[in-house]
């Protein structure tokens, strides 16, 4: 039995015949090779999970839903980080991979669960080429307790010392907020929730929604 899928988890088990009739041909073709799908933030009926299919081209993204009972394998961003496969990647000179090698011990030291998402996470988990030399490093950090904005600013300085572009999302109990936005000065920030984006003053206190 798999744990409840979270946003950015990779799921295996979806077959072309599971897709609705209106699904594009490229999405069916992608699933033919046992490609995983990515859990996305959206409402889902009981027994289902919202997910997206990645195609070969950047613009090929298809949003749909998957039955929980069809999941044969689940890999979380945190499991990707723990596996450490980037250390043996064929292109260690890519900025995203250099940044990951540099930041991993610092992130481990935080005592918070962190993971790799985006194209690099997809490639590291599936073995399917998805990243390229210009790929950003996309990270997720689970933050069950409130993190001060001063802490976020210090984290941004740490990321800025690493090569390439790095996007880190803080996963609060209510959704995700960009680290760089929480590190800013604006009184309200964008929180990505299952029901859609919300402007909030504190991502850990959902009732403080801005009017």
User: 146 and 82 share a domain?
Assistant: yes
* Choice among 9, 70, 108, 138 that is catalytic: 138
pLDDT band at 58 (very low <50, low <70, confident <90, very high): confident
Q: Quick one: which of 165, 100, 96, 176 has its CA closest to 141?
A: 176
**pLDDT tens sequence across 107-166:** 999 999 999 999 999 999 999 999 999 999 999 999 999 999 999 999 999 999 999 999
The yes-or-no answer on residue 138 being catalytic is yes
9 is catalytic: no
Q: Which residue in 65, 10, 4, 73 sits closest to 37, CA to CA?
A: 10
In a domain, 42, yes or no: yes
Does residue 210 register a pLDDT over 50? no
d(CA 121, CA 131): 9
CA-nearest of 63, 87, 60, 68 to 12 is 68
Q: Are residues 64 and 137 part of one domain?
A: no
**125 and 34 part of one domain:** no
Return the sign of the alpha-carbon dihedral for residues 188, 192, 196, 202. Answer: negative
Residue 87 lies in a domain: yes
Beta strands in 30-150 (DSSP E): 37-39, 48-54, 61-67, 73-75, 114-117, 137-142
Inter-residue contact 2 to 76 (CB < 8 Å):
no
Domain, as residue range, for 168:
77-200
């Amino acid at each position: 039995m798999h744990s409840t899928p979270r946003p950015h988890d990779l799921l295996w088990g979806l077959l072309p015949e599971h897709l609705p009739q209106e699904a594009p041909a490229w999405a069916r073709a992608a699933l033919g090779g046992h490609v995983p799908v990515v859990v996305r933030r959206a409402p889902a009926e009981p027994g289902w999970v919202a997910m997206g299919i990645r195609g070969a081209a950047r613009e090929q993204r298809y949003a749909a839903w998957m039955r929980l009972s069809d999941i044969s394998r689940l890999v979380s961003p945190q499991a990707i980080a723990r596996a450490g496969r980037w250390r043996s990647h064929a292109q260690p000179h890519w900025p995203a991979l250099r940044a990951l090698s540099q930041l991993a011990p610092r992130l481990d030291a935080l005592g918070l669960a962190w993971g790799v998402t985006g194209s690099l996470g997809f490639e590291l988990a599936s073995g399917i080429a998805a990243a390229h030399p210009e790929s950003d490093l996309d990270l997720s950090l689970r933050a069950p307790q409130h993190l001060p904005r001063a802490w976020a600013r210090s984290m941004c300085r740490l990321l800025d010392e690493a090569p390439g572009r790095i996007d880190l999302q803080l996963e609060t109990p209510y959704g995700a907020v960009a680290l760089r936005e929480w590190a800013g000065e604006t009184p309200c920030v964008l929180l990505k929730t299952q029901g859609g984006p919300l402007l909030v003053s504190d991502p850990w206190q959902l009732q403080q929604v801005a009017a």
